[in-house]
Amino acid sequence: MSIWEKQIGGAHYKKMKIQPSEFVHKNNMLFAEGNVIKYICRHPFKDGKQDLLKAIHYCEMIIERDYSKEEEPQETWIEGYRKWKATQK
């Protein structure tokens, strides 16, 4: 028996053609991305809406980790100049 065919506790992953853990491993995914895959795949068989909410939570973590700096508005050069000028008085 392959390690990927083994499941400890429940049978919700055995219903799938490929277990989420194998998919995540073979695609070298990070922890948060792997959990998104896991919870999306198992929601119909295990914890339903709660699993989807967990997947959303991990998506939010990924967004904050990878994209939070892009969302910060940058000041224009004139705004920066005005702030600097105000400190010179």
What are the extents of the domains in the chain?
Answer: 3-87
Alpha-carbon distances, residue 62 vs 5, 8, 10, 68 (angstroms)? 29, 28, 28, 9
Cα dist. 24→20, 21, 34, 35, 75 in Å? Answer: 6, 5, 5, 9, 40
Residue 74 has pLDDT above 80, yes or no: no
Supply the pLDDT for residue 72: 63
State the pLDDT at residue 83. Answer: 85
Cα separation, 54 vs 45, whole angstroms:
15
pLDDT at 71: 59
Q: Which residue has the higher pLDDT, 71 or 21?
A: 21
Higher pLDDT, 57 or 12: 57
Instruction: Tell me what percent of the chain is helix, strand and coil, each rounded to the nearest 5.
Output: 65, 0, 35
DSSP for 31-52?
A: HHHHHHHHHHHHTTTTTTHHHH
pLDDT at 24 over 90: yes
